[in-house]
Amino acid sequence: MTIFFVSHKLEDVEALCSRAVVLRQGALVGSTEAPFDKVELVRMMFGREVELAPKSFTKPGRKVLTVKTGCVDSIRLQIKDVNLEVRAGEIIGIAGMEGSGQDLFLGACGGLVEPAGGQFCLDDEERPMNGKNYHDYQRMGVAYLPAARLEKGLVPGLTLTEHYILTGSKGGVFIDKAKAAGIAGERISAFNIKGRPDSSVESLSGGNQQRALLSLLPESSALILVEHPTRGLDIESTIYIWGKLKDRCAAGTAMLFISSDLDEILQYSDKVLVFFAGRVTPLIDARRLSVQKLGELIGGVGWEASGETFAEAAHA
């Protein structure tokens, strides 16, 4: 039996395939036999070498989000006693098996899920946001990027220009279509979106839909919450998306993101939260973790023996 396996993940290709065939812009670029040269594969995919930027850490600023003994419930899961401080410029990675509660917690941090207990507070003054909805969080500078781009983030059937009109400042009852098209052109250029102002969002590739979502974020966002920022994207799009996100964090925006890619968690996080069956670690300095250790924690291994390690990491 012959199996055709399509993937952007070179690690999966290396582990599973005996031969790789590369297509770019509708044309066959070349093929190669295992064992693969990753550099050559990337060069065939993008016409040039693509490298990850070196890992960097931002000096934390003021408090942006504080969670005090936070609790979130669902029908089948309860998350209890989460304590967390997130500061301006920090990137917090959230790891865990699907269904371990990380999506519920992220939703509670953005007003999409009602907390069952504790306090979720914004800014240095620690203003309690319990009972507030997503629009209240938005007004406080919180933005949410969902994993389901077309189902929750964008509006199928609308063009890029219409999205910028919807998210732009309200200036009266009439719409200046020429001005809106000009703004769309500027955003398309700034975020390297492969599309036109009149392109419908469903006609864009996954990577370009993610770039479009990023281009809709208000510049004033103090906190960005992201579900799986690069799921399904190739390495070039992944690096580009993270470049944009890190630019925002360097300017003082804090960020929490969920990812099932352990390498992504360790590459881009300053600190890490691990979820397992409703249990949550304190914040762990990403420099203290390896892929193996993170994988063990996600699988529920080492929790009891690591209490002191967690306590040390929380104060690192």
Q: What is the pLDDT along the chain (316 residues), one digit of tens a residue?
A: 999 999 877 888 888 999 999 988 788 988 999 998 888 888 888 777 666 666 777 778 899 999 999 999 888 888 888 999 999 999 999 999 888 889 999 999 999 999 999 999 998 888 889 889 999 999 999 999 999 999 999 999 999 999 998 887 666 667 778 888 888 999 999 888 989 999 999 999 888 999 999 999 888 899 999 999 988 787 788 888 899 999 999 999 999 999 988 889 999 999 999 999 888 999 999 999 988 899 889 988 877 654 445 545 444 4
pTM: predicted TM-score of the whole model, two decimal places? 0.82
Let me know if 167 is exposed, middle or buried by CB neighbors in 10 A (0-12, 13-18, 19+).
Answer: exposed
- Residue 19 has a pLDDT of 94
* Residue 219 exposure: Cα atoms within 13 Å on the Cβ side: 3
Structure tokens at 304: 């009891």
- Residue 272 is which amino acid? V
pLDDT at 201: 94
Maximum distance among all alpha carbons in the chain? 63
**In this predicted structure, what is the pLDDT of residue 309?**
52
DSSP secondary structure letter of residue 53:
P
Question: Torsions phi, psi of 28, nearest 5?
Answer: -75, 120
**What does the alpha-carbon distance between residue 183 and residue 279 come to, in Å, rounded to a whole number?**
45
Beta carbons within 8 Å of 187's beta carbon, 6+ residues apart:
160, 164, 193, 215
Are 67 and 55 spatial neighbours (Cβ–Cβ below 8 Å)?
A: no
Q: State the amino acid at position 245 in one-letter form.
A: L
The answer to whether 67 touches 229, Cβ cutoff 8 Å, is no
Q: Tally Cβ neighbours within 10 Å of residue 132.
A: 16
**Strands 223-227, 142-145: parallel, antiparallel or unpaired by DSSP?**
parallel
Domains of the chain: 10-46 (no CATH), 63-141+218-314 (3.40.50.300)
pLDDT at 308: 46
> DSSP class of residue 151?
I
* CA-based torsion, 129, 134, 137, 139: positive or negative: negative
Taken in order 192, 215, 174, 220, the sign of the CA dihedral is negative
Radius of gyration (C-alpha) of the chain in whole angstroms:
21
DSSP 176-239: -HHHHHHHHHHHHHHTT-SS-TT-BGGGS-HHHHHHHHHHTS-TT-SEEEEESTTTT--HHHHH
Mapped onto helix, strand or coil, the DSSP state of residue 145 is: strand
Residue count of the chain, please give it. Answer: 316
Q: Rounded to an integer, what distance in angstroms lies between the CA atom of residue 239 and that of residue 233?
A: 10
| H helix and E strand count, the chain | 11, 13
What integer pLDDT is reported at residue 64 of this predicted model? 95
* β-pair partners for 144: 225
Half-sphere exposure (CA, 13 Å, Cβ side) for 79? 30
